[in-house]
Amino acid sequence: MAVTNTGIMAASEKWSRASLRITGDTLKPDEVGAILGLDATRSGLKGERIGVRHSAVRRTSFWILQCPLDTTFPLQDHLNWLLNILDEKRDLIISISENWKVEFFCGFSSENGQGGAIFEPALLRRLASFGIPLILDLYPPEIMGISCEEFSL
């Protein structure tokens, strides 16, 4: 997996990721972790600086559990990993979603713009049982050094 010097995966590589993302202005990441009995992969508080090199501050608080599988694994494997961890916490997650924004957030890129992810009916049923959105963020490949965004202009 090629990662650029900005920490962003190269658009010409095939990769996938999935996470449970919980956000909200009143959210306290430590409390979410305690409720779920899980440690966040990443978290942050509203108003804190984004980083030591940035003067910008976070607009909202967040708690993220990201699947640790390698990005070369198929997207459905990432989602199944999350669901295996979260199935027994479904009621807690549904309760949390009454106060904060909760979603399954996925990223996907193919090396040539072709291909996709397979979502078997059993996986879709498991995802739907949480009653929260599934977001699929697509990253198109670059075409001869020109990003697809530039190509379509």
Q: Model confidence over 59-88: pLDDT tens digits?
A: 999 999 999 999 999 999 999 999 999 999
3-state secondary structure of 34: helix
pLDDT score at 14: 84
Q: Give residue 12's pLDDT band: very low, low, confident or very high (50, 70, 90).
A: low
Please give the Cα distance from 33 to 31 (Å, whole number).
Answer: 5
3-state secondary structure of 48: coil
Residue spans per domain, the chain: 15-151
What is the rounded average pLDDT for all residues in the chain?
86
3-state secondary structure of 2: coil
Work out whether the CA dihedral 62, 67, 68, 71 comes out positive or negative.
Answer: negative
- End-to-end CA distance of the chain: give it in Å, rounded: 28
Beta bridge partner(s), residue 147: 142
